[in-house]
Amino acid sequence: MKPGACVSDHCDAYRNAFKRGFPDAELLQCWPHISRKFQEGEYVSTTWDHFDEAKGDLYALHLARSPEMWDLLLAECGKRWDKWGGGKMNTFWNSNCIAPWSNWYMGRADVVLCTPCQNAQEAWHRELLRSRIPGMFRGSTEAVFMVALPQLIIMDGILMPTVLPFSVPAIPKAMILKALYYIENQDRHVWIFQEERADQHSFYVLKKDNEYGAKKITQKLIELFESARVGVKDTRIKDHATLLAVCDALHVVGPPAEGQSVLP
């Protein structure tokens, strides 16, 4: 078994290790780390006049549905950041918007259910540290690399569960209500279309609380969204906020890719 994608923090050493170990896997950067560092003021001051606007741009970039949409949004956001003046976003741009670290958006990896987030893995490692080898990471740097890390890797492999180590007695009510909303309003929020193969179909799903303000899927919205998905800004989009709203209005649910299966 080989991974289709890997996730790491922004670190050249990690990247080199992943590329040597799994050269064919797509490498993603962990979005929660980027978001946290930005909100803590690591790249720009939290009191900067455009801080909230920039934070919204980063979230929109993270949600890009395809590499082409990412390129479009990045170009538009970059022009806006330059207009604000002062080079405030230059450090962020140089660190996270240039290859190979422009890899923290949802549509980057062509792997089912893969997102640029490693919170689950870190939570598992933290539990190992707390319960199995507490104190071993307080030693010297040499001891950490020669003793603690190898033991963590071994335990990670041995103790990783093959089934969920917890039970979910019930699906949260809010999640059920949201799913029920889409079922009851599928005539407005779901649009089926045929793929190139006659036996394959996909679906557009309209986000319930979309910023575009759409109450139902229309041909115009599909045209605007599909243009953005292939990296083209439709001439009917006149402002930055509308572009971001269009890009986040629809999700596309399609058939499994060649060689993939939706079944376990």
**Residue 264: predicted pLDDT:** 38
Could you tell me if residue 2 is left (phi over 0), alpha (psi between -120 and 50 degrees) or otherwise beta? beta
Does the structure show a pLDDT above 70 at 263? no
120-178 confidence digits (pLDDT tens): 878 877 777 777 666 776 778 788 778 887 887 787 777 766 776 666 678 889 999 99
**pLDDT by residue (tens digit) across 194-203?**
877 777 889 9
Evaluate if residue 15 carries a pLDDT over 70: yes
Neighbours of 66 (CB within 10 A): 19
Q: Are 169 and 195 in contact (CB under 8 A)?
A: no
Separation CA 256–CA 250 (nearest Å): 19
- Higher-pLDDT residue of 255, 19: 19
Q: What is the 3-state secondary structure (H, E, C) of 151-170?
A: HHHHHHHHHCCCCCCCCCCC
Q: Beta strand 190-194 with 201-206: parallel, antiparallel or unpaired?
A: antiparallel
Beta-bridged to residue 205, according to DSSP, are: 190, 251
d(CA 189, CA 193): 13
Determine the pLDDT at residue 139: 74
Give backbone dihedrals phi and psi of 9, rounded to 5 degrees, phi first: -75, 175
Domain boundaries, the chain: 5-96, 119-159, 173-253
pLDDT tier at 226 (50, 70, 90 boundaries)?
Answer: very high
Average pLDDT rounded to a whole number, residues 225-250: 98
Q: What is the pLDDT of residue 198?
A: 74
Report whether pLDDT(262) > 50.
no
pLDDT tens track for 186-219: 999 999 988 777 778 899 999 999 999 999 999 9
What is d(CA 252, CA 205) in angstroms, rounded to the nearest whole number? 6
- Give the per-residue pLDDT at 183: 95
Total Cβ atoms within 10 A of residue 108: 21
Reported as a pLDDT band with limits 50, 70 and 90, residue 254 is confident
Place of tokens 């962020």: 92
pTM for this prediction: 0.83
Q: What is the pLDDT of residues 38-91, one digit of tens each?
A: 999 999 999 999 999 999 999 999 999 999 999 999 999 999 999 998 899 999
